[in-house]
Amino acid sequence: MDKVIIVDHLSKNFTVNEGGTGIKTTIKSLFTKQNKKIVRALKEISFTIQKGELVGFIGPNGAGKTTTMKVLSGLLYPTSGFVSVLDFDPFGKFREFLKQISLVMGQKNQLWWDLPVINSFEFNRVIYDVKEKDYKRNLDNLVSLLGVSSLLNTQVRKLSLGQRMKMELIASLIYKPKVLFLDEPTIGLDLVAQQALRDFIYEYNKKEEATILLTSHNMSDLVDLARRVIVVGEGEIVYDGAFDELTTKFAGEKIIKITLSEEVNQKKLEEVGVVKKYNYPYCYISVPRSTVAFAAAEVLQKFPVVDLNIEEVAVEDIVRKVFKGELKS
């Protein structure tokens, strides 16, 4: 069972009513048939994830990331295609399957609102058949990691958003799931907690050989954690491969970084390529990949250059493009 997650030509359609606003349209919609529109949230996507992989799942809002996670955790019924997680059909909601997975969403609320947090954890211990000893160890570990040991006996309703997020995470991890679907896990956390959580996910992935699929709009989450990324846009997979290679695949340009010995008019520099940033004595010029050698020679010839470097476009810039939905395969 090397392939933990198999997705083959998965499609998911939603029907939406195209209602207008205002009283008139509302009343009219009571008597007439509404315009139903089919939204194709996922269009025949395919990928597999091996045991112990940590995959970043990225794309702009509405690209289909969460929909995929919901299908993989058995919440949504696929319109067509094949899905298997841990050799189970997720939608079957088999107990053995659900005991081994965890879906962590920024807005999920599984805590008992009016009771001390510890009751919710205790409840999950029973529901997920966690042994008392393991439970204790996991809880201590998670609680100290996220720095919430003093809050265990506080009513859930009295926690702040960030504190509640941490508690949600603990509740989701207390039973040591083998497959983790993390949908924006660091949302609402402060920087310290974000880092602590990233470290934890990293460790958890290594130690437990857990398979993790992670979506995030937080750059550090991706840079620190994901070796492999799947980029989705408009319900399709745009890229699936090593995080580092995102740049070579998608950056049509390279960056020439120069250090000047005396100030040069920016207009002149523009003749070589697009000036990304000019902050004397440093200047960053973006030029097409194919002509980078020629451009570099031109720079050396025309300008008083002390130092010159040819660099790849920063991965952050590529990811930023991904979030803007600018990447097309």
Partner 1 sequence: MDKYFSVFKISLAHEFAYKLNFLIWRFRNIIQILVFFFLWSSVDSTYFGYSQSEIFAYAFLLIIIRSIVMSTKANDVSGYVSSGELSNYLVKPINFFKYLLSKDLAVKMLNIAFSFFEVTILYLILKPNLFIQTNPIQLILFIISLIFAVFIFFSIIILSSSAPFWVPEIGWGVQFLVISIFVEFLSGAFFPLDVFPKPIYEFLKLTPFPYLVFIPIKTYLGNMSTFETTKNLLLGGLWTIILWLLMNKVWKKGLKVYEAFGR
241 and 249 in contact (C-beta within 8 Å)? yes
- Radius of gyration, alpha carbons of the chain: 25
Which stretch, 71-79, 232-240, 275-283, 300-308, contacts partner 1 (CB under 8 A)? 71-79
* Residue of 60, 74, 185, 235 interacting with partner 1 (CB under 8 A): 74
Which among 50-58, 74-82, 265-273, 280-288 is the span making contact with partner 1, rule CB under 8 A? 74-82
Q: Where are the alpha helices (DSSP H) in the chain?
A: 23-31, 65-72, 95-98, 117-127, 132-146, 161-173, 191-208, 219-225, 245-250, 266-270, 292-302, 315-324
Q: Is 214 exposed, middle or buried (0-12, 13-18, 19+ CB in 10 A)?
A: buried
Contacts of 33 (CB under 8 A, 6+ apart): none
Binding residues with partner 1: total (CB under 8 A)? 31
- Residue 49: name the closest of 101, 14, 99, 105 by CA: 101
Nearest-angstrom CA–CA distance, 23 and 257: 60
Whichever of 66 and 194 has its CB closer to partner 1, that residue is 66
Cβ nearer to partner 1, comparing 117 with 295: 117
Determine if the peptide bond prior to 78 is cis (ω within 30°): no
Could you say which residues in the range 259-318 bind partner 1, by CB under 8 A?
A: none
Nearer to partner 1, 60 or 273 (CB): 60
Residue 19 CB, shortest distance to partner 1, in Å, is: 9
Q: Is 127 or 314 the residue whose CB approaches partner 1 more closely? A: 127
User: Rule CB under 8 A: which of 7-46 touch partner 1?
Assistant: 14
Tell the burial category of 116 from Cβ atoms under 10 Å away from its Cβ (0-12, 13-18, 19+): middle
What is the token pair recorded at 69? 């996670």
- Residues 114-153, one symbol each (x = binds partner 1 by CB under 8 A, - = not), give xx---x---x--xxx-------------------------
- Which 175-194 positions form the footprint of partner 1 (CB under 8 A)? 183
**Beta strands 54-58; 211-215: pairing state:** parallel
> Among candidates 187, 19, 33, which has minimal Cα distance to 108?
187
Burial label for 169, CB within 10 Å (0-12, 13-18, 19+), is: buried
Nearer to partner 1 by Cβ, of 113 and 207: the residue is: 113
Please pick, from the candidates 7, 55, 76, 169, the single residue that binds partner 1 as defined by CB under 8 A. Answer: 76
Task: Work out the end-to-end distance of the chain between its first and last CA atoms, rounded to an integer number of angstroms.
Answer: 31
Tokens of 105: 């969403």
Among 11, 48, 84, 110, binds partner 1 (CB under 8 A): 110
Query: Which CB atom, from 16 or from 219, has the smaller least distance to partner 1?
Result: 16
**Of the candidate residues 45, 53, 73, 170, the single one contacting partner 1 (CB under 8 A):** 73
The nearest distance, CB 101 to partner 1, in angstroms, is 7
Q: Which is nearer to partner 1, 48 or 119 (CB)?
A: 119
Residues 89-108 that bind partner 1 (CB under 8 A): 93, 95-96, 98-99, 101-103, 105-108
Minimum CB–partner distance for residue 105 and partner 1 (Å)? 6
User: Are 277 and 329 a contacting pair, CB within 8 Å?
Assistant: no
Residues near partner 1 (CB under 8 A) are 14, 66, 70, 73-77, 93, 95-96, 98-99, 101-103, 105-110, 112, 114-115, 119, 123, 126-128, 183
